[in-house]
Amino acid sequence: MFKEIFSVLRKEDLLKQALDQAYEMFSKSEMMFKVAIDMIMQHKKPDIDIYERDKEINKMEWEIRKKVLEHLIVSDKKQDAAAVLILTSAVIDMERIGDYSKNIFEIADICPGDNVVDEAHTEFFSDIEAQIFEIFRLTRESYMESDAEKAQSAMAMHWSISERCDEMFEKLALEKGLKAEYAVIYTLLARYLKRVSSHLKNIASSVANPFPRMGFRTDKDDRNSDVG
């Protein structure tokens, strides 16, 4: 079904403009995440103004909404409504990725030292970071190629990240000798990474699932709940 809906987005003028802008919005969100996580993990100074980039993403979301609304007003094609619902849902998740990337960036402000993540916790956060970049790739390609398998792979990676982050929350609560400020920092970082992954999962799910099940596990999975 997604292929048919996606073909509508590619053909209709205003919807195609909105889709092209959504691709750009996704790329900007990914860049925001990269800048934020590089600052945390590699102490790399940002080469963009992350707050200005966040404003750009917000503006793009408004413009996309405006385009799809204008299209719906003049269109009498019922199938366009499904395309618009999917696209507007996806850009909401893209905007939220930008917000959580900004939150990750701001963690450095509350860190008492130069190193945000110490050696004992680097492996966990580096691994989660690498998986999220892979989800970005799979999600982008699943949209551009209407590839449900890649979308399902992205979703499966998120479920794994979600479970691992939940395990880290419990570990941090029980870890002896961990200073309170670092316990807060690592908990926030794990939480924000989990949320970025979750919003990517939501975007990917629009390719793999029918609209009512966007954001949830696929029909093939016998678990009905969304683990976040």
Question: DSSP assignment of 158-178, as one string?
Answer: HHHHHHHHHHHHHHHHH-TT-
Whether 118 shows a pLDDT value over 80: the answer reads: yes
Residues 36-51, mean pLDDT to the nearest whole number? 91
Pairwise pLDDT comparison (156 vs 75), residue with the higher score: 156
Q: What is the mean pLDDT of residues 25-33?
A: 96
Q: What are the extents of the domains in the chain? A: 2-213
Q: What pLDDT does residue 17 have?
A: 87
Q: Is the pLDDT of residue 42 over 80?
A: yes
Who has greater pLDDT, 42 or 221? 42
Closest CA to 125 of 177, 94, 168: 168
pLDDT at 224 over 80: no
Going by C-beta distance under 8 Å and a sequence separation of 6 or more, which residues neighbour residue 17?
A: 67
The top-level CATH class assigned to 2-213 is: mainly alpha
Percentage of the chain exceeding pLDDT 90? 57
The pLDDT value recorded for residue 140 is 95
Residue 210's pLDDT band (cuts 50, 70, 90): low
61 with 94: CB under 8 angstroms?
yes
**pLDDT on residue 208:** 74
What are the tens digits of pLDDT across the range 69-85?
888 877 776 667 777 88
Nearest to 15 by CA among 61, 56, 70, 93: 70
Q: Which of 88-92, 127-131, 207-211 has the lowest mean pLDDT?
A: 207-211
Q: What is the pLDDT of residue 196?
A: 98
